[in-house]
Amino acid sequence: MFNRRTLIAALALGLAAVVPATAQDKSIIVSSTTSTQDSGLFGHILPLFKAKTGIEVKVISQGTGQALDTGRRGDADAVFVHAKAQEEKFVADGFGVKRNPVMYNDFVLIGPKSDPAGIKGGQDIARALTTIKNKKAAFISRGDRSGTHSAELNLWKAAGVDIEKEKGDWYKAIGQGMGAALNTAGSSNAYVLSDRATWISFKNKSNLAIVVEGDKRLFNQYGVILVNPAKHASVKKDLGQQFIDWLISPEGQKAIASYKINGEQLFYPNATDTGA
Amino acid sequence: MTGEMSALQLVLTGDPALYAVVRLSLLVSLSAVLCAALIGIPLGALLALTRFPGREGVIVVLNALMGLPPVVAGLAIYLLLSRSGPLGTLGLLFTPGAMVIAQTLLVTPIIAALTRQTVEDLWLEYRDELAALGVGPLGRVATLVWDARFSLVTVLLAGFGRAAAEVGAIIVVGGNIEGFTRTMTTAIALETSKGDLPLAIGLGLVLIAIVVVINALAWGARRAGERYVG
């Protein structure tokens, strides 16, 4: 059975090739959000970091809630997310060493160009959401404990809407990432909250457009936290700290600011703003 | 892989990122099928030839496990390999090794259940001869598996199809890390979420083409083997 032996030998070789691939040194795992990954930011800044330090950053892109969970279990060396309250709790509970503000951009309310709720061009996000609710216009929620989902829930609260009680058929929580939510909104003529970076880099905009932007409450802050080595001995604390130090250094901040799509800047560095 | 290029362009220009992704997909899925075959074929054959109380129940459960949802298999392996889990010290989570383990868990029931059926059908045909020749239990397993070898190629292909097509398990335990644990299916999921639907569909077509080629190779090997052995 020449053929079978060849096949088995080939498979065994394949298996052998998988094993050394797992033993790479000088690399860290960062659990981050879909927005930083899907927008292409990491593709822009990580090669710069690697060229300087030789450290390879492996990014797992998840919603903020899940990314923090990954850190809590010790499966990441650092978390890079955008939900300040959840991040502060993560540190207060002893899972993270220190929260460092890194950069910001803003959320935008996306909706069909036909604008069934008639809210286009407004700057008051609370009023826009109230109108959507009153007119029962279709709305897609991430529903996945992500940073954007947290922000959406806070905005409903700001609008005086108890969304858990008042949601109806018009409000659909899809439990998926930002891109999936935008795809769904595009194909079902619905409104959806998005971070601006994902929106700019999104390629399937179909009939969607920004309907509300510029409200101060749409601010979107990102922070980075080293997972606490005292909780999980496996955390690569020196390499992880080097990554954080670089992100908040003038060099890293410049790299973030220089990331643009079609001339439009996606993230604004603000590591020196200690209150952010 | 950049979204500015179509899948066809990536293939024609020999995009290194695309080839790395294809290579890892094949490596992970073929390794998983190999591991699953080493476990599943003997297990299925034994189950076909032995009789014990509760055997029917085991068969029903094994058949049902063919439909194990990939994301459940992924989660189980995730919890096992997580730093907070029992095997956390191995540091296997978010590596290709973890992906092989998760897919092995998915594919083993398929190979074991189909092997059981194939070998049992053969046994019903040959049991009297084997009994007359006085072949022992292990000898029977070996004889029947050897006799079923060409049908088992199809069984392995069924397992490979499952492994190559799934995304739920490997995205959970592999993390879809660029250049390290990104496969065809997780890349397709990523491009879909980035809204680059043409690239996602194009990668899907590339994946289907690869699976067709592998099936054609296996089919050719089977035919050649049959002709050679007679």
Q: Which superfamily, per CATH, for A2-105+221-269? A: Periplasmic binding protein-like II (3.40.190.10)
Q: Which residues pair with A30 in a beta bridge?
A: A59, A78
- Could you report the average pLDDT of every consecutive run of 10 residues in chain A (276 residues)? 53 53 74 90 96 96 94 97 96 97 97 97 96 97 94 97 95 93 95 96 94 96 98 96 98 97 94 89
Which of the 8 DSSP states describes residue B213? H
The verdict on B141 touching A (C-beta cutoff 8 Å) is: no
Chain A residues whose beta carbon lies within 8 Å of the beta carbon of residue B195: 179, 182-183, 202-205
Phi, psi of B92 (to 5 degrees): -90, -20
| ipTM surpasses 0.95 | no
Residue A181, helix vs strand vs coil:
helix
**Residue B5 domain flag:** no
Q: Is residue B222 part of a domain?
A: no
B83–A58 C-beta distance less than 8 A: no
> φ and ψ at B181, to 5 degrees?
-130, 20
Out of A11, A21, A38, whose CB is closest to B194? A38
Give the list of residues 6+ apart from residue A272 with CB closer than 8 angstroms, or none.
none
Identical fold for domains A2-105+221-269 and A106-218, yes or no, is yes
Per the CB < 8 A criterion, the answer to whether B214 and B53 are in contact is no
Environment class of residue B149 by beta-carbon count within 10 Å: exposed (0-12), middle (13-18) or buried (19+)? Answer: middle
> Cα B157–B113–B122 angle (5° rounding)?
90
Kindly identify which residue of chain B lies nearest to residue A5, measuring between CA atoms: B221
Residue A16 confidence (pLDDT):
55
pLDDT of residue A4: 55
Q: Could you tell me how many CB contacts below 8 A there are between chain A and chain B?
A: 105
Amino acid at A265: Q
CATH fold, domain A106-218, is D-Maltodextrin-Binding Protein; domain 2 (3.40.190)
Give the pair of three-digit tokens for residue A265: 């800047």
Cross-chain residue pair B31–A178, CB shorter than 8 Å: no
Residue B188's nearest CA partner among B167, B169, B172, B209 is B167
Task: Say if B200 falls within a structural domain.
Answer: no
Q: How many distinct structural domains can be found in chain B?
A: 1
Task: Give the closest-approach CA distance of A24 to chain B in angstroms.
Answer: 10
Domain assignment of residue B98, given as a range: 24-182
Closest approach of A88 to chain B, Cα-based (Å): 22
What is the reported pLDDT for B12?
80
Tell me what pLDDT residue A1 has: 41
Quick check: A14 and B192 CB within 8 A? no
Query: Would you give the distance in Å from CA A133 to the centre of its chain?
Result: 26
Give the residue carrying structure tokens 């194939």. B118
Average pLDDT of adjacent 10-residue blocks, chain B of 230 residues: 66 84 96 98 95 96 96 97 95 97 98 97 91 87 92 94 96 95 95 90 93 93 82
Residues with Cβ within 8 Å of B3's Cβ and at least 6 positions away in sequence, in order, are A203, B191, B194, B196, B199
CA A115 to CA A182: how far, in whole Å?
Answer: 16
CB B78 within 8 A of CB B86: no
pTM of the shown model: 0.87
- Size of chain B in residues: 230
Gyration radius from chain A CA atoms: 21
- pLDDT value, residue B8: 79
* Chain A residues close to B176, C-beta within 8 Å: 60-61
Residue with tokens 């058929």: A169
Measured in whole angstroms, the distance separating CA A49 from the mean position of its chain's CA atoms is: 20
- How many Å lie between the alpha carbon of A172 and the closest alpha carbon of chain B? 18
Q: Which residue of A has its CA nearest to B187?
A: A38
Residue with tokens 């009680």: A165
3-state helix, strand, coil in chain B (%, to 5): 80, 0, 20
Distance CA A95, CA B91 (A): 19
Any idea what the CATH number is for the domain that residue B39 is in?
Answer: 1.10.3720.10
Chain A neighbors of B225, CB-CB under 8 A = 1, 3-4
Q: According to the model, what pLDDT value does residue A38 have?
A: 84
Cβ-contact A134, A171 below 8 angstroms:
no
Chain-centre distance of CA A206, in angstroms? 22
Confidence (pLDDT) at A23: 45
Q: Is A75 on the interface with B (CB under 8 A)?
A: yes
Task: Report the helix count and the strand count for chain B, using DSSP H and E.
Answer: 10, 0
Tokens of A14: 């394949």
pLDDT number for residue A3 = 55
Supply angle C-alpha B175, A25, B83, rounded to 5.
Answer: 50
> Packing angle between helix A237-247 and helix A41-53, nearest 10 degrees?
120
What residue ranges do the domains of chain A occupy? 2-105+221-269, 106-218
CB within 8 Å: A180 and B26: no
Q: Is A23 helix (H, G, I), strand (E, B) or coil?
A: coil
Beta bridge partners of A252: none
Q: Do B34 and A180 touch (CB under 8 A)?
A: no
What does the alpha-carbon distance between residue A105 and residue B179 come to, in Å, rounded to a whole number?
28
**Contact assignment for B100 to A34 by CB distance below 8 Å:** no
Q: Give the number of other Cβ atoms within 10 Å of residue B144's Cβ.
A: 25
Sign of CA dihedral A67, A256, A186, A179: negative
Q: What is the reported pLDDT for A21? A: 46
Of B34, B92, B94, the CB nearest to A60: B94
Residues whose CB is less than 8 angstroms from the CB of residue A162 and which lie 6 or more positions away in sequence, other chains included: A156
Q: Quick one: B44 exposed, middle or buried, by C-beta within 10 A (0-12, 13-18, 19+)?
A: buried
pLDDT of residue A11: 54
Phi, psi of A111 (to 5 degrees): -155, 175
Tell me whether residues A204 and B196 touch, CB distance under 8 A. yes
Chain A nearest-CA distance from B225, in A, is 7
